[in-house]
């Protein structure tokens, strides 16, 4: 089959570590933007974290936001320019730690934006500290004995948490740890963009991704870590769907 | 005839393509590329079925496949209707 770099992705080498899932998620988002033919009117809002250099890689408008604020920035742009397609691309530290308030309130207002949430259960850019999504017992530089329920509390499950809000249209948790999961992730991301085009409201796709460097694992073991450990704590699936049927 | 291309200079040597190739037809090189990583190479071009699983898993877009049968562009590079 024919397989090429999507037009929305610039022909530039990325700064991500070998085996990092960000490159795969970038490509999936770019493929969906190409397929829907919305590149000229798409605006992305970038997080602080590993994906901070999004503007170097995406061939569409990208705005770099203050830490945790992409949903707030996207809200402003979408309300002023409702014909544009807005997506935010955020990691777990950005979306679920410093940006919790922005995320929850943008979801609760039912802003017509698409959120791509990359969950790798650790702070990647700063060197492997505990993130809100770090799992119980998981090693990080700030939890050298593993995260404990008593001292640090359990991981925040974003899809489960947001599913209680009335304003949310679509929530799905996917993964990029096998070819099958990558194809499912692409479908979910496409649907999240289609929901926005059809003005159905807030859509969030949580992508479980690998961080071999900060998990201190080789890339193949990092894939196993997602498949065997992360998927148990963060089960894949659709958590909310008010969009009315799966549109292909 | 479809043709698979590996861009050695873009490869970071993570080996995800080696893991997912259903025919075990990809291996890592023993030499290093200019960024200091081993890179993915095709073992036997004749055994490649151009399924693109390696490309789908590649985080660095280091693998591309030209397939005139399923291409959305014609020979001159213009999009097909």
Residues 6+ away with beta carbon under 8 Å from A63: A43, A44, A45, A46, A73, A77
Hey, of B13, B14, B55, which one would you mutate to test binding to chain A, going by the most A CBs within 10 A of its CB? B14
Q: Residue A132 is part of which domain span?
A: 22-241
Q: Is residue A171 part of a domain?
A: yes
Q: Is residue A230 part of a domain?
A: yes
* Mean of pLDDT values over A163-178: 95
Minimal Cα distance from B54: which residue of A?
Answer: A179
Q: A94 and A120 in contact (C-beta within 8 Å)?
A: no
Q: Is residue A226 part of a domain?
A: yes
pLDDT tops 50 at residue A248: no
CATH of the domain at A88: 3.40.50.970
Rounded mean pLDDT of chain A?
A: 94
Q: Is residue A147 part of a domain?
A: yes
Contact B19 A220 (CB under 8 A): yes
Rounded mean pLDDT of chain B?
A: 88
pLDDT tops 90 at residue B68: no
pLDDT, one tens digit per residue, over B5-53 is 999 999 999 999 999 999 999 999 999 999 999 999 999 999 999 999 9
Size of interface A-B (CB pairs under 8 A): 76
Order across the sheet with A114-119: list the strands: A61-64, A42-46, A85-91, A114-119, A202-208, A168-175, A237-241
pLDDT, one tens digit per residue, over A82-129 is 999 999 999 999 999 999 999 999 999 999 999 999 999 999 999 999
Minimal Cα distance from A5: which residue of B?
Answer: B61
pLDDT tops 50 at residue A246: no
CA-to-CA dists, residue B57 to A198, A205, A219, B80, angstroms: 30, 19, 12, 27
pLDDT, one tens digit per residue, over A15-58 is 999 999 999 999 999 999 999 999 999 999 999 999 999 999 99
Which residue in B12, B51, B56 is closest to A18 by CB distance? B12
Neighbour-count burial of A207, counting CB atoms closer than 10 A to its CB (0-12 exposed, 13-18 middle, 19+ buried): buried
Confidence of residue B79 (pLDDT cuts 50, 70, 90): low
CA distance B70 to chain A (A): 6
Q: For chain A, how many structural domains are there in total?
A: 1
3-state secondary structure of A231: helix
How far apart, in whole angstroms, are the C-alpha atoms of residue A26 and residue A10?
11
Q: Is residue A40 part of a domain?
A: yes
Q: A123 and A116 in contact (C-beta within 8 Å)?
A: no
φ/ψ of A23, rounded to 5, equals -60, -40
pLDDT tops 60 at residue A186: yes
Domains of chain B, first to last: 3-66 (3.30.70.20)
Q: Is residue A14 part of a domain?
A: no
Which positions in chain B touch A219 (Cβ < 8 Å)?
A: 14-16
Which one, of A196, A210, A190, A197, lies nearest residue A31 by Cα?
Answer: A190
Contact B16 A178 (CB under 8 A): no
């Amino acid at each position: 089959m024919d397989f090429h770099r999507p037009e929305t992705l610039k022909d530039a080498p990325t700064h991500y570590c070998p085996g990092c899932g960000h490159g795969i998620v970038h490509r999936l988002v770019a493929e969906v933007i190409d397929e829907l033919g919305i590149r000229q009117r798409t605006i992305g809002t970038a997080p602080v974290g590993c994906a901070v250099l999004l503007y170097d890689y995406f061939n569409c408008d990208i705005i770099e936001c203050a830490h945790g604020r992409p949903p707030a920035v996207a809200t402003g742009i979408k309300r002023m320019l409702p014909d544009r397609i807005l997506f935010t691309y955020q990691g777990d530290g950005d979306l679920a730690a410093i940006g919790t308030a922005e995320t929850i309130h943008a979801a609760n207002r039912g802003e017509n934006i698409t959120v791509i949430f990359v969950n790798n259960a650790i702070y990647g850019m700063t060197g492997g500290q505990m993130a809100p999504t770090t799992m119980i017992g998981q090693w990080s530089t700030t939890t050298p004995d593993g995260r404990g329920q008593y001292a640090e509390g359990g991981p925040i499950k974003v899809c489960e948490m947001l599913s209680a809000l009335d304003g949310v249209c679509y929530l799905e948790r996917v993964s990029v740890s096998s070819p099958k999961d990558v194809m499912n992730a692409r479908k979910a991301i496409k649907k999240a963009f289609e929901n926005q085009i059809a003005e159905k409201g807030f859509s969030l796709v949580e992508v479980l991704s690998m961080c071999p460097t900060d998990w201190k694992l080789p890339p193949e073991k990092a894939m196993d870590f997602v498949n065997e450990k992360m998927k148990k704590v963060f089960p894949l699936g659709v958590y909310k769907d008010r969009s009315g049927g799966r549109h292909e | 005839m479809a043709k698979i291309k590996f861009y050695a200079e873009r490869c970071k040597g993570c080996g995800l393509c080696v893991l997912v190739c259903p025919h075990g037809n990809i291996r890592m090189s023993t030499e290093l590329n200019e960024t200091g990583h081993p890179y993915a190479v095709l073992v036997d071009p004749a055994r490649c079925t151009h399924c693109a699983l390696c490309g789908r898993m590649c985080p660095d877009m280091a693998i591309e496949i030209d397939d005139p049968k399923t291409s959305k562009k014609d020979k001159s590079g213009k999009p097909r209707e």
